[in-house]
């Protein structure tokens, strides 16, 4: 795909229609999408999909926060691409540890396509994280299709890194909190 030609009316319309059809199939029937998906497709398709989903999530968040989060229109596409590569690599390791037989590159691409739900999970301020739980199911289906795992092992391979991430964030938050309040309490006599 030639990124210089994206803004030409014909190419932009085609990209938009393709991304919308993929988004709709992922949301309505993800098992069929991940089973029938062409794993050797070019990188620009999944990156374009992430940019579109990120921009829509940013626009949605900007509207629902009355303009206070307008930078997310640019921030979310970048965040989605970073999460796709980092998260895809982490999930690849855990799918392999669970006995998966898939390849590295398709795992990253499938992780990128699970950002279809991120339009709502990132875009809706209060209910978004609850809607984001659907992404765990999408990642599980991606693990089943791409690594030939059963549902239980794919689900465990998805939940363990998320659980470890939450523990790591709790530890970092505790350390920062203790350091902050320790510094405040040590200066109370001034």
Has residue 142 got a pLDDT over 90? yes
The fraction of the chain above a pLDDT of 90, given in percent, is: 67
10 — pLDDT class (breaks 50, 70, 90): low
Please give the share of the chain, as a percent, with pLDDT higher than 70. 91
Task: Please tell me the distance from the alpha carbon of residue 82 to that of residue 88, in angstroms, as a whole number.
Answer: 10
Give the separation between CA 125 and CA 60, rounded to whole angstroms: 9
Residue 29 confidence (pLDDT) above 80: yes
Residue 181 predicted with pLDDT over 90: no
Question: Which pLDDT belongs to residue 4?
Answer: 54
Q: 122 with 128: CB under 8 angstroms?
A: yes
pLDDT at residue 167, rounded to an integer:
96
User: Quick one: 62 exposed, middle or buried, by C-beta within 10 A (0-12, 13-18, 19+)?
Assistant: middle
Residue 4: Cβ-neighbour burial (10 angstroms; 0-12, 13-18, 19+): exposed
Q: What residues does each domain of the chain span?
A: 3-186
What's the mean pLDDT in 114-139?
90
pLDDT tier at 83, thresholds 50, 70, 90 = very high
Instruction: Check whether 7 has a pLDDT greater than 60.
Output: no
Of residues 184 and 26, which shows the higher confidence score? 26
Angle, to 10 degrees, between the axis of helix 72-97 and the axis of helix 43-64?
A: 130
Half-sphere exposure of 28 (CA within 13 A, CB side): 6
H helix intervals, 65-148: 72-97, 104-113, 118-123, 128-131, 133-147
Confidence check: pLDDT of 103 > 90:
yes
Phi-psi region of 99 (alpha: psi -120 to 50; beta: other; left: phi over 0): left
6 versus 16: the higher-pLDDT residue is 16
Across 86-112, average pLDDT:
95
Residue 180 confidence (pLDDT): 82
Q: What is the pLDDT of residue 147?
A: 95
CB-based contacts of 18, cutoff 8 Å, min separation 6: 45
Q: What are phi and psi of 134, to 5 degrees?
A: -65, -25
Q: What is the C-alpha separation between 59 and 61, in angstroms, rounded?
A: 5
What pLDDT does residue 50 have? 95
> Over 80: is that where the pLDDT of 124 sits?
yes
């Amino acid at each position: 795909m030639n990124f210089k030609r994206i803004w030409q009316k014909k190419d932009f319309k085609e990209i938009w229609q393709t991304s919308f059809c993929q988004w709709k199939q992922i949301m309505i029937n993800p098992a069929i999408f991940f089973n029938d998906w062409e794993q050797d497709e070019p990188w620009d398709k999944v990156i374009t999909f992430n940019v579109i989903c990120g921009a829509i999530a940013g626009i949605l968040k900007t509207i629902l926060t009355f303009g206070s989060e307008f930078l997310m229109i640019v921030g979310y596409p970048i965040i989605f691409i970073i999460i796709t590569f980092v998260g895809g690599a982490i999930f690849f390791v855990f799918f392999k540890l669970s006995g998966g037989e898939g390849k590295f590159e398709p795992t990253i691409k499938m992780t990128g396509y699970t950002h279809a739900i991120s339009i709502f999970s990132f875009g809706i301020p209060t209910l978004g994280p609850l809607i984001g739980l659907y992404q765990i199911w999408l990642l599980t289906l991606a693990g089943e299709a791409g690594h030939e795992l059963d549902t239980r092992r794919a689900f465990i391979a998805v939940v363990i890194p998320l659980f470890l991430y939450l523990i790591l964030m709790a530890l970092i938050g505790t350390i920062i909190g203790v350091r902050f309040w320790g510094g405040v309490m040590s200066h109370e006599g001034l």
